[in-house]
A and B are shown apart, each in its own frame.
Chain A
Amino acid sequence: MRNIFNYIDRPSPIHRLTGATKLVCLLLWSFAAMSTYDTRLLVFLTLLSFVLFYVSKIRVRDVSFLLSFMAVFMVLNNVLIFVFAPQHGVTLYGTSHPIFSLGGNYVVTKEQLFYHLNLVLKYFATIPIVLLFVCTTNPSEFAASLNRIGVKYTIAYSVSLALRYIPDIQKEYHEISQAQQARGIEMSRKQNLIKRLKSASAILIPLILSSMDRIEVISNAMELRGFGKEKKRTWYMERPFAPADFVAMALCALFLAASIALNIANGGRFWNPFVS
């Protein structure tokens, strides 16, 4: 049950980085990949993310379910964009090189395909890094990491509480839903939406009201053990930074800087090969 986030404990250099480092790297990396549409940087990040994925000793089969889910999501998003804005690439790049027409406004252009290529590259540059974070970071380190990068420890602890109680709540939801189904509660397509939502509430109301009672018990338990007494707190799972941590964070900062620099050099977020 602990593995909703798919933490896989294997000895690798990536695992050895502290949780805080990985969190900082995840944020820097994903902002770097988000901010630019410069194909060169995206290709570089994609290749590097594949290498890191290999180094982490996480295997594709460990995450195959998530990968297939993301693949479907990526394809759907691309199709939707094409359906709604077949000329989006032309607008962005300012030129039009038609390849063939599907009728009406649906003319496939080099610009549109290039835009889609960049979109796909963004997925490729980000997904392995998110998976790396998910698979190599011990959930127990998560709250300490947030606190280390400046989030107040009380707030950081609420993240830890969420991770702690997700399995319990999931189990409780399952049990309540079975008991209510026996009484005839259904959420299938046979009923209209409003009825379905009302049925859902027959499960959600007991679940959520009993969770409200739980909030009281937990906050008592925490206060009785001194939570919130001091301005800061220590963390059992926190580890000191090693040189590798600083190197990793510096590199990711560099990528974000490069991404921003390229945006300035390109005079916008798009690297445009069509004008030269």
Chain B
Amino acid sequence: MDEPIIAFHDFGFQYNAQAEPTLHHIDLEIRKGEKVLIVGPSGCGKSTLAHCMNGLIPFSYRGESTGSVTVRGKETKALNLFEISRTVGTVLQDSDGQFIGLTVAEDIAFALENNCVRDPELHARVDKAAQAVGIESHLRHAPGELSGGQKQRVALAGVMVDDVDLLLFDEPLANLDPATGKSAMELIDEIHTRTGAAIVIIEHRLEDVLHRDVDRIVLMCAGRILADLPPDALLSSDLLRDNGIREPLYLTALRYAGVTVTPEMLPHSIRTVRLTEKEKGMVQSWFHSMPPHAVEETRPLLLDAQHVTFSYANGHRALEDVSVYVRKGELIAIVGTNGAGKSTFSKVVCGFEKEQEGRIEFTGCDWGTLSLKERADHVGYVMQNPNQMLSKPMIFDEVALGLRTRGVAEEEIKTRVEDTLRVCGLWPFRKWPVSALSYGQKKRVTIASILVLEPEMIILDEPTAGQDYRHYTEIMEFLRKLNRDGITVVMITHDMHLMLEYAERSVVFSDGHVIANDTSAGVLTDPDVIARANLKETSLYDLALACGIAEPREFVQRFIDHEREVARA
């Protein structure tokens, strides 16, 4: 009927700085009112495709293009960035980077100000957009006073204020906790229904996006579109698994049980999946055929924090009577929302902050008198973003930094650094500049730079944030290997997959208190804890209930145990 909002025809693109094209032969149309999800592993070109939609290509990033891409029937090359932005509104992944104004209201007003819209229209339109995303009671707040989810709402209001025809979301779930991510998808869905704008979502967390329906899923790999299918068709194929995209967990479980997933089953959501009695029976018998979860023997305590209380200088009480223990050789997760106290707790353990009350013991010794640097010999802290830790151009020097500041002799440094690089699989790169490494390799360098100090325990802040399934697996398998070599690993995270698949135990923080300390399967099947910590029930739990399994928690646990077996094999 009507012309597409965006149309690619045999389109290709190569960045000036790249030796090879990033996109090849792209054919894609987005029409009015459609909702399309674009998935693909890192480096598949999906961000580049997004840049081509919103005009950053060709207007901000330089390169060679072939074929055609049109917005409302006009070649983007013939338009300019401003004209395109009236049609395509973009919500970037980095909500801090997109939040330009000093307050919520100013940020929403930004596009209108640039169009010279005057009062009273200016204030009225800001109010309307703020209401549309439910942020109207925070108009005078500064970005520092908002949560990640609220910042994203502001970003959305800031592009909706212009009445665009297409809303483009670049990894909208990347920085959100599970519950907030869920409500973000609900909000997007609501706006889609109400405004009729087309929606394009770029994300690799397939299951979380499918919390609300989409019309089509476009699968990209190596710069090409491999599939452009309705969700049910794509999910019943092998295409996702073959291309490094994680399928929803309930589908993996069905496959383990030997059930064939078909489009007729409506597999796009756990709420729609239709199983026959026979198929339910297959899931049940798979469950009963799996060995029960083995409880591991109790190992000696490594870290024992008792009744720790901490308030920041501004009076904010971040930790209230917190007791956490970590056993030798464990791999555990500390979870909770932003501001729940999980980061503060790790700062107190590392000695970045000093607790006001309570006691911290490490291998049975009181830790109160040890300095930050002395504690670092036992507990290493790895920041979320490796770029925030890397300060030397060469890998060797970066890893050696902590030894050099401790006055270790240069020969010993050489052997210790080289040993560590071997453990971390970085030996072949030891003479490379850090800048030549991928994100995952940089992460390893930062971990190596901590491991070289030979700590008994390392704490990692969001070790896999923003990583696709392949890099996520690469980083986590590396951590698991370190753990098997005897390093105790504590991860601060709100990634539920990470908890479930890798952490034996999860400590849950909420509002400065520890509200749960249980196996990850236990935590993610406890509705009360889930609600208080902004987590989300795992779809495995729902699957177990749907199949009439009386012990959903044990079902989740056996599924994880089986996954680990599969991964090891």
Contact = CB atoms under 8 A, between A and B. Distances in A.
Q: Is there a direct interface between A and B, measured as CB atoms under 8 Å apart in the complex?
A: yes
B92 to A, nearest CB: 6
Given A2-B142, A225-B111, A236-B109, A184 B347 contact: no
Interface in B392-406: 392, 401-402, 404-406
A73 to B, nearest CB: 24
Contacts of A61: none
A102 interface: no
A184 B405 contact: yes
Interface in B60-86: 60, 81-82, 85-86
A179 interface: yes
Interface in B439-492: 449-450, 453
Interface in B75-113: 81-82, 85-86, 89-90, 92, 94, 96-103, 105-106, 109-113
Interface in B118-177: 118-119, 122-123, 126, 142-145, 158-159, 162
A189 interface: no
Nearest to B141: A2
Interface stretch (B9-17, B38-46, B382-390): B382-390
Which of B100, B105, B450 is most buried by chain A, counting CB atoms within 10 A of its CB? Answer: B100
B114 A236 contact: no
B381 interface: yes
Which of A184, A213, A217, A218 is most buried by chain B, counting CB atoms within 10 A of its CB? Answer: A184
B391 interface: yes
Contacts of B373: 181-182, 184, 186
Contacts of A140: 101-103, 106
B420 interface: no
A101 interface: no
Contacts of A167: 142, 144
A139 interface: yes
A172 B100 contact: no
Contacts, number: 166
A183 B449 contact: yes
B424 interface: no
A1 B142 CA distance: 9
A220 B56 CA distance: 7
A2 B115 contact: no
A203 B100 contact: no
A186 B82 contact: no
Contact of A168 (B96, B158, B347): B96
A33 B94 CA distance: 46
Given A176-B388, A233-B114, A222 B100 contact: yes
Contact of B100 (A183, A209, A218): A218
Contacts of A180: 389, 391
A218 B159 contact: no
Interface in A231-267: 232-237
Contact of A182 (B96, B111, B350): B350
Q: How large is the interface on B (under 10, 10 to 19, 20 to 34, 35 or more residues)?
A: 35 or more
B60 A221 contact: no
B320 to A, nearest CB: 22
A201 interface: yes
B380 interface: yes
A205 interface: yes
B510 interface: no
Interface string A152-186: 00000000110110011000100110111111111
B219 interface: no
Nearest to A182: B376
Contacts of B259: none
B352 interface: yes
Contacts of B351: 182
A206 B388 contact: yes
Contact of A226 (B59, B94, B115): B115
A17 B112 CA distance: 25
A88 B200 CA distance: 73
Interface of B: 54-56, 59-60, 81-82, 85-86, 89-90, 92, 94, 96-103, 105-106, 109-119, 122-123, 126, 142-145, 158-159, 162, 347, 350-352, 372-373, 375-376, 380-381, 383, 385, 387-392, 401-402, 404-406, 449-450, 453
Interface of A: 1-2, 139-140, 160-161, 163-164, 167-168, 172, 175-176, 178-186, 199, 201-203, 205-207, 209-210, 213-214, 217-230, 232-237
11 contacts: A164-B99, A168-B96, A172-B388, A176-B388, A206-B388, A220-B56, A220-B60, A222-B110, A226-B85, A226-B111, A234-B118
